[in-house]
Amino acid sequence: MSYQVSKMRLTLRRILQALFLALLFSFSTLAMLRTFAATSSRSATMMEHASAIKEEPPWIKTFVGFWPDRSLRSVFDEEGKEFTAPVVDDNAIEFERAISTTTSTTTTATSKPQTSLDDIFISVKTTKNFHATRLDVIIKTWFTLAREQTWFFTDSDDEEYSEKTHNHLINTGCSASHNRMALCCKMAVEFDTFLESDKRWFCHFDDDNYVNVPQLVRMLQKHDWTDDWYLGKPSIKAPLEILDREHMPQKISFWFATGGAGFCLSRSLGLKMKPLASGGKFISIGDKIRLPDDVTMGYIVEHLLSKQLTVVEEFHSHLEPMKFLKQSHLAEQITFSYSHYGPEMNVLSLNGFNNQIDPYRFLSLHCNLYPNFSFCPR
């Protein structure tokens, strides 16, 4: 009798062990299937957006770091070839501090994290016709200070400049013309690409801008990205007044930051704009008011969302006389530009390279700010 009881217990134990193993296998299989489904869904979403803009978006790119070693800096020689030069002067140390530190105040559990360079999505609008004449000086100067964060939005594939920018050249598929539809098309792709990233700030610039990257970071550190910020500088002395096409003959007025000087939007504001301007809606609004991209941006922010432009005087466009910017104050400014007025060039007035080598004065400006770069005069 005792033998039969022991045998029954042994059989029952084996049955329970088998049931336990079966349940364990079932739960493991279910977990693997859920993980695979989630990964497939995310991958499909990213590839769909990449196909729409004919370029891999920033969050699935392989970035090339600016400082692979803290004692080395990547720069370009006169032929555009990349090499490294030792960081030995105070300007390089100052720049690193500017983009990696916040303030002297210790961050507490209740305070919001300070902005760093990695929090900024920097877009540069360009066109294939200007790649050779405008991008080289940017790539050689300020792009080296924000290589991972800066993207060039153009209208054609270009293997040479895709390589020079470390695959940060995005073909928007927009027209190469300079009409309002083409400009709004590129801005729409810039804005959508920012929204798909995890960046806290969207800063747009043109291909005739020099961006003082450390000063850009310092300026953004003064503003909370969780609030609604539209930062830039108007090129007109009064709000723009246009006809309200839905309520003719009434008029509406609003400020806008000129794209020629650059402007920045906080992520909080960008998310509020998303229902109105994402997915190509930005182009539709621009077509409705029949105005270019920077004006359309101001219309959306100031008129449709009732958010005000905050003027940043340190932004400068080609519409301003560059020669009046004092050399002693250049390090405090954020953006610079240039333009032609007949035979006269509207450029910064500062010492440096001769005009044949540096007609736009960006090389001289960069060496004024960062004299340690290898191409700068000793």
Alpha helical stretches, state H, the chain: 2-52, 90-100, 136-140, 159-164, 180-196, 213-221, 267-277, 281-289, 293-298, 362-369
Which H or E run contains 252? strand 251-254
* CA–CA distance, 371 with 312 (Å, rounded to integer): 27
Q: Evaluate whether 304 touches 269 at the Cβ level (below 8 Å).
A: no
Whether residue 249 is preceded by a cis peptide bond, meaning omega within 30 degrees of 0, is yes
What token pair was written down for 48? 């769909």
C-alpha to C-alpha distance for 262 and 180, rounded to whole angstroms: 17
Instruction: Say how far apart CA 303 and CA 330 lie, in whole Å.
Output: 34
Point out which residues pair with 211 in neighbouring strands: 335
Report which of 374, 371, 359 is spatially closest to residue 331, judged by C-alpha positions.
371
* From 69, 89, 294, 358, active-site residue: 294
Give yes or no: 136 in active site: no
Beta carbons within 10 angstroms of residue 253's beta carbon: 11
DSSP structural state of residue 79: T
The type of residue at 296 is: T
Report the alpha-carbon distance of residue 294 to residue 301 in Å, rounded: 11
Q: DSSP assignment, residue 60?
A: G
3 exposure class (CB count in 10 Å sphere: 0-12, 13-18, 19+): exposed
**In 197-333, where does DSSP find H-type helix?**
213-221, 267-277, 281-289, 293-298
Contacts (Cβ under 8 Å, ≥6 apart) of 369? 91, 212, 330, 331
Instruction: Please state, in angstroms and rounded to a whole number, the distance separating the CA atoms of residues 65 and 82.
Output: 13
Q: Which residues are catalytic?
A: 294
